[in-house]
């Protein structure tokens, strides 16, 4: 495997662990008693105080607003879809959304 592919794999794994921590913190906020897996990656251990402490944290994401990309993004990341989107646009483009 190339170095870039390995690095991309590590980045994706760290982002996956970050998503697990955020989902667990959200469940805790809703009253469920769940374990928050901070120790799964170095990134989540470093961000522990920012994510679960008394700090206020803002997260910024860069996304492409093109309709094709919105359809692809909501297919790949269904957990992150919080805002309603135009299903008709995705169906017209030939992507099955639901």
**Cβ within 8 Å of residue 49, ≥6 positions away:** 55
Number of domains in the chain: 2
44 and 75, same domain (yes or no): no
10 and 53, same domain (yes or no): yes
Per-residue pLDDT of the chain (98 residues; tens, 9 = 90+): 689 999 988 888 988 999 899 889 889 888 899 999 999 998 889 888 888 877 776 777 776 666 666 666 555 555 554 555 455 555 565 544 44
User: Could you tell me the CATH number of the domain that includes residue 13?
Assistant: 1.20.58.980
C-alpha span between 36 and 67 (Å, rounded): 35
C-alpha 51, offset from chain centre = 14
Please say whether the dihedral angle defined by the alpha carbons of residues 26, 32, 33 and 37, taken in this order, is positive or negative: negative
Q: Rounded to the nearest 10 degrees, how much is the dihedral formed by the CA atoms of 33, 39, 42, 46?
A: 50
């Amino acid at each position: 495997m190339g170095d870039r592919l390995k690095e991309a794999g590590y980045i994706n794994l760290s982002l996956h662990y970050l998503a697990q921590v955020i989902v667990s913190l959200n469940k805790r906020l809703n009253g469920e008693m769940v374990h928050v897996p901070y120790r799964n990656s170095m990134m989540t251990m470093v961000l522990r105080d920012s994510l679960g402490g008394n700090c206020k944290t803002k997260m910024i994401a860069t996304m492409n607003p093109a309709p094709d990309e919105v359809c692809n993004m909501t297919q790949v990341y269904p957990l992150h879809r919080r805002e309603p989107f135009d299903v008709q646009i995705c169906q017209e483009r030939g992507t099955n959304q639901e």
